[in-house]
A and B are shown apart, each in its own frame.
Chain A
């Protein structure tokens, strides 16, 4: 490079007391694909020989590297960076810290984007390299850097300024920095936050590129803060809040509307991110620190925009309020719950049908809103899914014994005083493949009302037998059984001191790999044990192992180990089983009289397969019934053989079965033997496009479509309930199967109004507490999916309002897809029942006096009952027209009020008689059009055709 050529880019490398790593940073700039750049090393008057190293580098590369030193130390990164801005000669400027590196193409990518777009500011992707974790990388807010784009103001995308607070992943036009007089603040830490915010807002053209340009080397601090650096920490916090205030002031200068929007987003981030960081450490702090912390933060929380709370999780709001109130007793468990989502750490408080975190501060409406945790569903979650807060109260070493005591929160009294309680402590390696080496320690328990107190003790040093490598970290789990139901939780350390809680241990690989078992605080504040080295020899060998693991041959060894493991997985995976099916089981003889049943891929005992099965039992057909289940076998018939879907037994049963009967599809990769008869009952669809009528199917590759074809060609018989099915489903699937126009076996019970199900219906009414004369309304919406998969279920109308208007006359049954989560607020328990867990929908339909649905095929079944139906299609266009399409227009064909919003729905519900009377003809037409074969004899007809029970019955007909 000639000295008088103007550099395209100046990279300002800032160094302070880091002579060792400076050359690495500088070399990453020398290696750039962009040649025409200058490197400006600015030393913040380091005590070590950083400046000498910088000068030596400059001497090696004259004209390319310059070194300057500040006359005295400035105390933060701002000073040297400002000096860099002044001294730079390049047209563009980038900043690099001496402990980080630039990607080889960083400067060229930045320059290309800047020149192509004329941007003042180009910003790009950063990765964090975790040096203490074998250089594992994590991305820095990657969602901001998914696409390249240009904007004239950052107000077009305020999240950039709020979340990307770094100043080092950016390339600045030098004239822009000079023209706008942008400089780093000095004398405070976190100076880059303010500089970045100012630059974002000042830039009149911004380019974003998704290229990684900056490697931010991170060494995580694992040690607990000591008393000596506590004062330093408080200063850090005050500095951080000071910068936040200055940024808030900067936002306020952007005009009322823009300023407000920025502030709300930034406050959201403060609650989600900053507050969590601070609150996380609080349990380990003393009263003095907490006091200072609260003084500083409470003040700042006061001016958070209330809107911001709408954007964050419930627990964030709880923690913010309790922090501002300095209520440590409630805050510390709340912080635990914040760090460990789904964990309930206090007994909670119920009032007026809502669940609150605590019973204090409920005098103000605003506080009630913040403390309302109803939607977390702690009150409805089954105990085995609930994670109960479990606070360690003491942890000591007595001789060789480690003694634990702790206290489990009895959330909402879910642990009854008279319950039978047992518990164990499970201590096992974190690594999945070694988990079996864990141990169990017995626990003694005492029910104390709001808590369950417990104690345990074990000579851990003698009981655990670690391998010594690959099992450094051991988790501790408390497994409590309440009347047979188990609930598992970790142990929250709180302020229990862990120092010195360790015992000697002898790993299998000998004392050189490790020699002690040490209690440690985990990332989320829960107790774990680490295998550690005390002796010098152990430490040296550990060092050796560490080096080996990171060396090329170590990598190879690890890779081989991983490959061996994945081979093991392969041997038990679905592909191997499908192979076993094809190579082995298909050679076994067919077992006459075996019938394999499956409903919704084994998820339920329900639908037409259930009713066929029951009809076969009733008619006395001699057969061996085999039901497939996935998950748990509860709810499946006791007089059938049960096989878990996907197990070897399952494949074997399918291979040898004489009949397959299901409503959706057996695994697509297995072939059906010609001797096996496959009766596909289907699960009902007449509205939504299917098969070849779905664009997603049409755009598949030839191979994919051929696989689908093979799967469909396995069907021998296909059950339909109307000519409409034949015109739509059968055509769209291109079925070769014989069509059985007999109606759906599951709907026989609907046609005869549940005559055969009286006992089951009574039982259901009792189970659902339908014990008064209120009408029963069933809400059964369809399952929604978008391109990214399932869409989370949200109740699309206001239950409280429903309660106010209809709660006295109606009980609402809510049935969502089994994948969806829905919990009934305690205030709505009187008039709402969650029936999502009921396997079979038919008894529910029979129980309901009216139905609300959207596009679910349940409408065709329910119409058979000739009871009022309400259509609540709040997203009809989006649902039907976006992609999939429908076979008819529901708006015209609906045999009941077609409503588009909550007001319309509620108005229609109020006029119940009209919905019943005015649509009677429409319901009959609807059945004639979409279910004319459903005459109540489907199961009988099917069983007689395929399983005739001898000549006597034949003659009897």
Chain B
């Protein structure tokens, strides 16, 4: 039944090229699926606020439904708010705009071959798809954050409402899928994100450097990383902690390092565009985040053959790192344990090499080939 030339796959996102993790994922998976012979269209609901540049020669087509961002949804929450004519008029206009946008989706879906698949990567975008006629095409919905994160956000009710009827709802991890199933969604499965890079050679492991990279924000836990580092750097005077990234917390972190008396062994190296190079210049990777979804930097570090120390802050982390096998996990916030793990790796080159080699091998299950094969199975399943 599958046409040999591949399927039409419509990936519906809030926007096509908004700066951020989700569109980076969409671009990546679209390229991978295109390379596997499928015809991909990324459909954005609205234009991007801040555009990211994914290059000129895209192997997929794009489409954006609105020319400008629609006004936010409005509903009378108190009886007297019904009298707010301005808001009601705006809402009516918004409804009309939504119908028009949904009509465009309907036209696209009706014209598609029967073996096409619609992938809705964000729940906000799903509101438009729900309004459209999907013409019998199966809808695969996705949520790119952990169950706990959704639970704590305004998206929770919408995921339950709009995603419950999708043919399949894919979460990032097995554990998140289970959490949603226990919560009552019956269509859940999981789909990891593909590894963003595939270095031909691993790091040589000679540099006495611990690397960490990411936005310098509270949530990313660099304060905890510095606390941990302060506990053990005295025992490893020839080692450096190198932190790549910028962000609002930078000044606080520099001050913290100075207060802890460890400024000399901490290198704030700024943002880098050469992730692979930055990782390969180190021998241990540290991820001290308080919250994560499915951290790509961890995949990248493992792909470079680095052993990692991370806080076990989300199912995504547990899914990627197997504690004691291809990395070491600490209870989130337990800086003593995190420091002990760093200490263990810094003190033992053989252990670093062993965990690093396992990491590079194990992370293969998130290789583009493995993830594309998983997608093919999902496409096949929803057409059964």
Contacts and interface: CB of A to CB of B under 8 A. Distances in A.
Interface of A: 8, 33-36, 103-106, 108-109, 111-112, 115-116, 125, 142, 145-148, 209-213, 694-699, 701-702, 883, 885
B331 A105 contact: no
Interface stretch (B31-39, B183-191, B299-307): B183-191
Which one of A145, A694, A698 has the highest number of Cβ atoms from chain B below 10 Å of its Cβ?
Answer: A698
29 contacts: A33-B168, A33-B187, A33-B382, A34-B384, A36-B384, A104-B187, A105-B167, A108-B167, A108-B381, A108-B382, A108-B384, A109-B189, A111-B384, A125-B181, A142-B182, A147-B175, A148-B174, A209-B181, A211-B185, A212-B184, A212-B186, A695-B332, A695-B333, A695-B334, A695-B337, A696-B333, A698-B224, A699-B333, A885-B336
A701 B221 CA distance: 10
A170 to B, nearest CB: 16
A695 B227 CA distance: 12
A507 B168 CA distance: 52
A210 B334 CA distance: 31
Contacts of A115: 381
- Kindly list the 3 A-B residue pairs having the minimum CB-CB distance in the complex, ordered from nearest: A699-B333, A695-B333, A698-B333
B179 to A, nearest CB: 9
Q: Pick the most buried of A105, A125, A209: most chain B CB atoms within 10 A of its CB.
A: A105
Interface in B206-229: 218-219, 224
Contacts of B290: 699, 701
A694 B331 CA distance: 11
A649 to B, nearest CB: 32
B118 to A, nearest CB: 14
A50 B90 CA distance: 55
Contact of A111 (B175, B182, B381): B381
B335 to A, nearest CB: 7
Contact of A210 (B178, B336, B381): B178
B178 A148 contact: yes
Nearest to A113: B189
Contacts of B381: 108, 111-112, 115
B168 to A, nearest CB: 7
A210 B177 CA distance: 9
Contacts, number: 83
Contacts of A210: 178, 181-182
B384 A8 contact: yes
Contact of A695 (B174, B189, B218, B335): B335
A701 B333 CA distance: 11
B313 interface: yes
A34 B168 CA distance: 11
Given A698-B335, A702-B218, A105 B186 contact: yes
Contacts of B311: 699
The secondary-structure label for the interface of chain A is mixed
B332 to A, nearest CB: 4
Interface in B155-178: 165, 167-168, 174-175, 177-178
Given A36-B384, A699-B313, A885-B336, 6 more contacts: A8-B384, A35-B384, A104-B165, A104-B187, A211-B181, A699-B333
Given A33-B167, A125-B181, A699-B313, A883 B331 contact: yes
Contacts of A148: 174, 177-178, 181
Q: Which of A104, A108, A701, A702 has the most CB of B within 10 A?
A: A108
Nearest to A884: B334
Contact of A108 (B168, B182, B218): B168
A591 to B, nearest CB: 39
A286 B380 CA distance: 62
A890 to B, nearest CB: 17
Most chain B beta carbons < 10 A, residue from A36, A111, A211, A213: A211
Contacts of B332: 695, 699
B223 to A, nearest CB: 8
B369 to A, nearest CB: 17
B59 to A, nearest CB: 29
Nearest to B188: A211
B342 to A, nearest CB: 16
Interface residues of chain B: helix, strand, loop or mixed (majority): mixed
Nearest to B381: A112
A697 B333 contact: yes
Contacts of A109: 186-189
B186 A104 contact: yes
Contacts of B184: 212
Nearest to B183: A210
Nearest to B184: A212
Contacts of A697: 333
B261 to A, nearest CB: 16
A288 B175 CA distance: 54
B376 to A, nearest CB: 13
Contacts of B337: 695
A123 to B, nearest CB: 13
A883 B334 contact: yes
A105 B187 contact: yes
Contacts of B224: 698
Contacts of A146: 178, 182
Nearest to A883: B331
Contacts of A212: 181, 184, 186
Nearest to A148: B178
A483 to B, nearest CB: 51
Nearest to A212: B186
Contacts of A8: 384
A201 B24 CA distance: 47
Among B138, B175, B188, B384, find the residue whose CB has the most chain A CB atoms closer than 10 A.
B384
A61 to B, nearest CB: 17
Contacts of A698: 224, 333-335
A106 B186 contact: yes
A627 to B, nearest CB: 37
Contacts of A147: 175, 178
A105 B381 CA distance: 12
Given A36-B384, A209-B181, A695 B188 contact: no
A108 B383 CA distance: 10
Nearest to A696: B333
A773 B377 CA distance: 80
B56 to A, nearest CB: 39
Nearest to A145: B182
Contacts of B174: 148
A35 B168 CA distance: 14
Nearest to B384: A36
Contacts of A33: 138, 167-168, 187, 382
Contacts of A103: 186
Contacts of A209: 181
B230 to A, nearest CB: 13
A424 to B, nearest CB: 45
Nearest to B152: A701
A125 B177 CA distance: 14
Contacts of A111: 381, 384
B141 to A, nearest CB: 12
A809 to B, nearest CB: 44
B186 A213 contact: yes
A36 B384 CA distance: 6
Nearest to B187: A105
Contacts of B178: 146-148, 210
A106 B185 CA distance: 11
A304 B208 CA distance: 65
Contacts of B175: 147
Contacts of B138: 33
B181 to A, nearest CB: 4
Interface in B306-351: 311, 313, 331-337
A8 B383 CA distance: 12
A115 B178 CA distance: 18
A209 B182 CA distance: 10
A664 to B, nearest CB: 23
A762 to B, nearest CB: 48
B171 to A, nearest CB: 12
Given A698-B224, A702-B218, A885-B336, A108 B187 contact: yes
